Structure 1
C-alpha cells in the first residue's frame, strides 16, 4: 500500500475549500465523535497531554476538555485553513493569524506520518475519521506509537470497505469515485506490527438516506469528502456518465429514499513497555522484591 494511491495535496485542497463552512456540514463527523467519546466511559486514563490527530476545526476539543480538564490539548491537521477556521473570532478583531495556543489548545499544521512531536510526549492520541484519507495508515500509526508514552492510549475511528458502496457501484467508467477504505482486520494487523498491545477493533454500519442523488453528492462535497484518489477522473465527468450513475443509483431507492452506507471502524490500543531494544536485543525486567 505504498505505491501512492491517494493524492495528498487534493485531500488538503478539498478540506481547505470547505473550512469556513465546515461546521455546518460536519454532522457525520460530530456523530462519530459522540460515539467515540462514549467509549471513553470504559477507559481509565488521566492524560497529561492529548493529541487530536486530524482535528479539522477542533470539533472534539470541547468534549475532550470537559472529560479531562487537567490535560493539555494539541490538535494537528493537514489543512491550515481548517485550523484557522476553528479559532475564535472576537468582536472588533480579525481572526488570529498565529495558529499557536488559543483557548488552551495548541494547533499545528502537520503530516500524520511525520509528527512534529518528541517521542513519548503524549498520553492519548485521538483520531476521528482520518486514516482513510492517508495513502497508507501504517507510517502514521508508527508515528503515533513513537509519540505515545508507555501506557499511552490510541483511540481512532475510520471508514471501512463497505462505505459508499452504492456510489462506487453506480459508476461504470473505470475511475475511482470514493476513497479506498481498509478492512478493520488489516488495521488491527498494522497496530500489532507497530508494537501496540492487544488492539481492540469493532465496527458498525450506518445508513444515511437522501431524497436525491445530487443531495447526497452535495452533502459529501460540503464536508470535504469528495474522492481524492489519484485514480479519480481529473477532467469533467460527461453528461452521459452522470446520467448513467443517477439511473443506477435510482434503482436503489427504497421507501422513497436513496441509501448511502457507511461502515464505521473503531479501534483502540495501548503502548506497552518495549520487549526489545532498537537493535533487537531482548529486554528482561526484574521486579524489585517487596519489603516485608
Structure 2
C-alpha cells in the first residue's frame, strides 16, 4: 500500500539491516521493555514446546526465554537478515563456551520473515513473544490473525508495542516545518485490544506506561533512533537530508521541552497478552441440540 502514513517495509528492512551492528549499543529501551515483559511471564502458567520470538532483533530475549523454558524449541524471526546474523553470532559464541551443555533442541532456529505473513504452519507454536515489533505493521489485524493461526489451542501471544504518545516531543519539534510526516504513526491501546478480539484471541489483557529517556540535544535523539534502525519509514516521507534552516527550526522547537538541562524523549509502551481459545468439546443431546463445554483457564 502507498497511502500516507503507511510503512514502507522495504525501507524498514533496509534501515534495520544497516543498523544491525550499532543496534545493541543503542537499544536501551528495547532491553528494558523486554525485561519488563519477562516479569509478566511470572504470573502466567504455560509450558510451551515451541516458542516464536517475532521480531527478535539481535536476539536479546532468546537467552531469557530458553532459561525460563529450557525444554522448548525457540524460533527467532526478524524482517532484517542483518539482525538475524548478529543473533546467530551471539548464539555461536555462547555455544563455543558451553558446548558440553548445549543440546540441539536448545539452539534457536533463525527465520527471516514478516510478522504479517508468518512462514510457519498452522498451530505450530505454543508461545509467541513479540517485543516492540507490531508498531512496524501496516495492518496489525493481519499480524494478529497470523499469530492466532500459528498458535496451538491454548497458546499465548505476549507483546509490547508503542502507543500514540511515543516521540511526542519529536513530533512537536517537526510541526509546521513542512507538509510531511516525520514520525511514524502509532496505534491506541484500546484499538489494539479490540483487534485482538477481532482476530479471535481471547481474554486480552492490556496495560500501558510512559518511559522517558533524556538527551543533551536533539541531534542525540536522532542519532539514537538511527542507531537502532528506527527511521521514519512512512510512504511520502521527504527524501534526503534536511536543510540547515529546517534543522535549526526543529532544534529550536525541541528546546521548548528542555527540563533540568536535558531534552526528554517519551515512549508510550503498550503491553498486551491474549490466548488462542482451547478447542471446546461438543456434546449432542437426544433432541439434536448441542452443548458446548467451557473450561475455565487458570490465572
**What's the TM-score once normalised by structure 2's chain length?**
0.86
Matched residue, 1:278: none
Aligned match of 1:196 in 187, 198, 201?
A: 201
**Kept in 2: contact 1:208–1:259 (CA 8 A):** yes
Matched residue, 1:244: 249
**Kept in 1: contact 2:73–2:105 (CA 8 A):** no
**Kept in 2: contact 1:192–1:199 (CA 8 A):** yes
In structure 2, the CA distance between the partners of 1:50 and 1:213, relative to structure 1 (3 Å rule), is same
Counterpart-to-counterpart distance in 2, 1:218 and 1:283 = 61
Q: Indicate the structure with greater helix content.
A: 2
In structure 2, the CA distance between the partners of 1:135 and 1:196, relative to structure 1 (3 Å rule), is same
Counterpart-to-counterpart distance in 2, 1:274 and 1:179 = 39
Counterpart-to-counterpart distance in 1, 2:230 and 2:205 = 27
**Kept in 2: contact 1:2–1:136 (CA 8 A):** no
Per-residue deviation at 1:118? 0.9
Per-residue deviation at 1:136? 1.4
- The gaps in structure 1 that reach 5 residues or longer are 92-100, 276-281, 288-292
Q: Residue 182 in 1 paired to residue 183 in 2?
A: no
Q: Residue 137 in 1 paired to residue 140 in 2?
A: yes
Where 1:88 maps in the other structure, the secondary structure is helix
Matched residue, 2:36: 35
Aligned match of 2:131 in 128, 131, 147?
A: 128
Tell me how many residue pairs correspond in the alignment. Answer: 273
Counterpart-to-counterpart distance in 2, 1:35 and 1:239 = 40
In structure 2, the CA distance between the partners of 1:102 and 1:226, relative to structure 1 (3 Å rule), is farther
Runs of 4+ in 1 over 4 A off after TM superposition: 1-4
- The gaps in structure 2 that reach 5 residues or longer are 94-103, 281-288, 295-299
Matched residue, 2:162: 159
Counterpart-to-counterpart distance in 1, 2:245 and 2:105 = 49
**Kept in 2: contact 1:73–1:106 (CA 8 A):** yes
Matched residue, 2:101: none
Matched residue, 2:149: 146
**Kept in 1: contact 2:173–2:254 (CA 8 A):** yes
Where 1:203 maps in the other structure, the secondary structure is strand
Matched residue, 2:240: 235
Per-residue deviation at 1:242? 0.7
**Kept in 1: contact 2:72–2:106 (CA 8 A):** no
Where 1:207 maps in the other structure, the secondary structure is strand
